[in-house]
Amino acid sequence: MPLEVQFALKRNPLYIKYLRENNIWYKRLIRDPSQFKNFHEEMRIKYKLRPSDKINKVIDTMNLVSNLFSSMV
């Protein structure tokens, strides 16, 4: 595995956590380091770090607050 991929993995604790949970990525990254972008995207989907996931979370929170206020009245 190239050093730049190793350094990128060590810099981000979420990468390490995801690698430990999905150890098939060790083999994939060793065999084809260009798969790092796919690894990154899959990790963001799993941990819901995409902008659309964050927007959905805000919308869900607003709905929850709205429902709480409406139930109090």
pLDDT for 1 beyond 80:
yes
Rounded-to-integer distance, Cα 5 and Cα 24, Å:
16
Please report the pLDDT score of residue 72 as a whole number.
Answer: 86
Q: Hunting for tokens 């060790």 — which residue is that?
A: 26
Q: Six-digit token pair at 37?
A: 């972008």
In the chain, the number of structural domains is 1
**Residue 20 lies in domain:** 3-72
Phi first, then psi, for residue 22 (nearest 5°) are -130, 75
Long-range CB contacts (< 8 A, 24+ apart) of 46-55? Answer: 46/18, 47/14, 47/18, 49/14
Look at residue 10 in the predicted model and tell me its pLDDT. Answer: 95
Over residues 13-66, the pLDDT tens digits come to: 999 999 999 999 999 999 999 999 999 999 999 999 999 999 999 999 999 999
